[in-house]
């Protein structure tokens, strides 16, 4: 009987772990799909392609150097 209980708990554990990893993947994809506006040229770019400096977002290194001038 205890073997059945162990089997059930293992299945439950795998189910919980898969749910946790699915949720975290969803969270990562949501944040990486976010669109931010470049402070210098106003271009809308995805977060993963943008460069963050403090509160401001830039589409490229060129725009960061232009913002410093
Ligand atoms: Zn820009």
* CB-based contacts of 61, cutoff 8 Å, min separation 6: 51
Quote the ligand 1 centre to 5 CA distance (angstroms).
59
Quote the ligand 1 centre to 35 CA distance (angstroms).
13
Cβ atoms of 50 and 57 closer than 8 Å? yes
pLDDT at 39 (0 to 100): 94
Specify the pTM: 0.52
**Residue 55 backbone phi and psi in degrees, to 5:** -90, -15
Q: What is the mean pLDDT of the chain?
A: 87
Quote the ligand 1 centre to 38 CA distance (angstroms).
5
Quote the ligand 1 centre to 26 CA distance (angstroms).
28
**Residue 39 backbone phi and psi in degrees, to 5:** -70, -30
Instruction: Compute the distance between CA of residue 50 and CA of residue 7 in angstroms, rounded to an integer.
Output: 47
Q: How many CB atoms lie within 10 A of CB 57?
A: 21
What value does the mean pLDDT take over residues 11-25?
87
């Amino acid at each position: 009987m205890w073997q059945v209980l162990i089997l059930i708990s293992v299945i439950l554990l795998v189910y919980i772990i898969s749910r946790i990893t699915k949720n975290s993947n969803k969270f990562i994809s949501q944040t990486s799909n976010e669109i931010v506006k470049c402070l210098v040229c106003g271009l809308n770019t995805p977060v993963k392609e943008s460069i963050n400096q403090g509160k401001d977002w830039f589409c490229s290194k060129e725009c960061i150097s232009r913002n410093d001038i």
